[in-house]
Amino acid sequence: MSRYLVIVESPAKAKTIKKYLGSSYTVQASMGHLRDLPKSQLGVDIENDFEPRYITIRGKGDLLSKLKKHAKNADKVFLATDPDREGEAISWHLQQVLNIEPEKTCRVAFNEITQTAVKSAIKAPRQIDLNLVDAQQARRVLDRIVGYTISPLLWKKVKKGLSAGRVQSVATRLVVDREKEIENFQPVEFWSIAALMSQKDGKQEFTARFHGGLDGRKTELHNKEKVDEILSNIKNADYVVKNVKKSDKSKTPAAPFTTSTLQQEASRKLNYTSKKTMQVAQILYEGVDIKGKGTVGLITYMRTDSLRISDEAQASARQFIAQTYGAEFNPAKIRQFRTKKNAQDAHEAIRPTDVELTPQMAKQILEPSLYRLYKLIWERFVASQMANAIYDTIQADIQADKYIFKASGSKIKFQGFTKVYVESLDVTNEEEQEEKEGKLPLLEKGESLDLKKLDPKQSFTQPPARYTEATLIKAMEDDGIGRPSTYAPTISTILARGYIIREAKSLLPTELGIVVTDLMKNYFADIVNVEFSAHMEDLLDGVEEGSQKWRNVIADFYGPFETVLKKAEDEIGKIQVADEVSDVPCEKCGRMMVYKMGRFGKFLACPGFPECRNTKNIVVELNDVPCPKCGGKILIRNSKRGKVYYGCEHNPSCDFMTWDKPINEKCEICGSIKVEKRARGAVKHICSNKECENSK
């Protein structure tokens, strides 16, 4: 009979941990929270010092009875939920329902699910950290008060099904405000002059760009008249190298991943949504079944904003780097990255649990979505521990009449960390782009050059780019909105509510999102204020650190909030949000159907509801691609789960269907239609026939 009971959140985690513990241990899963605030009511006793009223979650009764039975028969219970606020709260609830004395050392936590980490944690249990529990309770109660008081107001004044939230409303505002910036943007004209030139032998051409006068200051070119004046002066001028500067440039690797940077980079390189990134990372953390080894946790805990790496992991990385790439690829000193001021440093940055499990090895054992994220994490971690990359750089000032042109170039001298990994950027700045334009020949001071071509170019300043998931997460992190565990669910929520939509990778506000945000700004300014939201996060961090009492934090917030809420209820009139009218008539009553937002995105509905309840999917054609089986039109459709697929208009008589976007090209080998595959930001056209060599 098992003497010890270990409780974790998920069956996958239970399976992994059971492998490391002997027959004396029973490992059970709580399946997340067992208790929570009731869904049907506020669940917070405002008059009784904001006391939360917890109930057993519907459907968890049998599981709770089972856990109680196991706990009763065990000599000791270990609560091994995730190592964060939420995990601590789940353990505290388990302690309450299983009647474990508060002074018992029953809590075990580990940053990685490996044999060493699990056994070490079991040997050193601690008491429940009530500061962590209080921080989670404060966040839960605060969010419940905001959501369960403002949301009904939105239902009443705007439309049913809406919601407001302490974090989601600020995130929506960021997207709305960015769209207004774009709409109000006034472009400014500017010009550039590129000079294509070469040395006298004419062997290697290179580009230099107009900089300004001989005093070295940059001259901004804002109109054609100024450009024409310069061009007339330099057209027949002598081009002479005035100065050459050669130097070594050192580039430092990016830090290992935090939750935020992992979500950003997975969006840029893998085209993963933040939700998918966290789902895949959860699987890698909890354990993957590996032939010959059983279930193994492959990465450390994936909800973290710390950049700290354990001494053991760094030592393993240095040894691996020296053996694989050479000792010169290790930095002279072990690299330390500075964690942000408000980061929770309880656990490490995200890294592989075993650096010896390379992506090449992982590819043989992981399904593609798991492999791609593991490879990203592994490469980022290993690169973060490697030596700087060194570049030979050359910068030249070239005089033409009374003006200076500048040219720059670089070539790799020592690969360093770039041998393994280079971070993606959302925006490439002009200076980096210029360096990529080409290598400079070895120029000498006083050398005369030949002008091949002058290329003046008119441009206009561009409005700020729309947010993508990656840039919105970065903005939330930079502004202190939410915490690592909230980024992905926040974006999922505001998409599901129809406040924002996704077009390609860009996030745009809907009319509904704009109306609700304007209402929130007018009546609940603090809720959607970035600085106020960041201040609340600081207070919640203070609860975790023990410097703030959670009930005091809620009380200080609730007093002014209650006043504002009453004012809003009295003053806000009924707000109509017009539905976008389509050009599709309702076949049942003849009205023009309108676009509605549902669980799986937009659909068409009759505006005559409730008299006419007709709805239909939005049908979009791939105009230039005929069905390869019958020649009919290919339609873009949504599955029951909301996933896009492509099928023939004559379904079910024609069964053509593919998950990948068809293109109007035939395979050179077998003649089948080609489809579009996206990977790491690149687009490839491959054969749709899985048996064809062109499909690889």
Separation of alpha carbons 659 and 369, rounded Å: 16
Residue 363 host element (H or E): none
Residue 45 host element (H or E): strand 44-45
Q: Which tokens go with 614?
A: 């007709």
Separation of alpha carbons 267 and 507, rounded Å: 13
Residue 325 catalytic? no
Whole-angstrom distance between the N-terminal and C-terminal Cα of the chain? Answer: 52
Separation of alpha carbons 520 and 173, rounded Å: 9
Residue 380 host element (H or E): helix 368-384
- CA 530, 532, 534: angle at the middle one, nearest 5? 70
- CA 344, 347, 351: angle at the middle one, nearest 5? 120
Question: What b/e string do you get for 235-246 counting C-beta neighbours within 10 Å, with b at 16 or more?
Answer: eeeebebbebee
Question: What b/e string do you get for 421-448 counting C-beta neighbours within 10 Å, with b at 16 or more?
Answer: bebeeeeeeeeeebbeeeebbebeeebe
Cα-Cα-Cα-Cα torsion 537, 538, 542, 547, nearest 10 degrees, comes to -140
Sequence letter at residue 550: W
Active-site residue among 20, 54, 272, 301?
Answer: 301
Spatial neighbors of 655 by CB under 8 A, at least 6 apart, are 629, 648
Separation of alpha carbons 218 and 193, rounded Å: 13
Sequence letter at residue 251: K
Separation of alpha carbons 467 and 593, rounded Å: 30
Question: Which residues are catalytically annotated?
Answer: 301
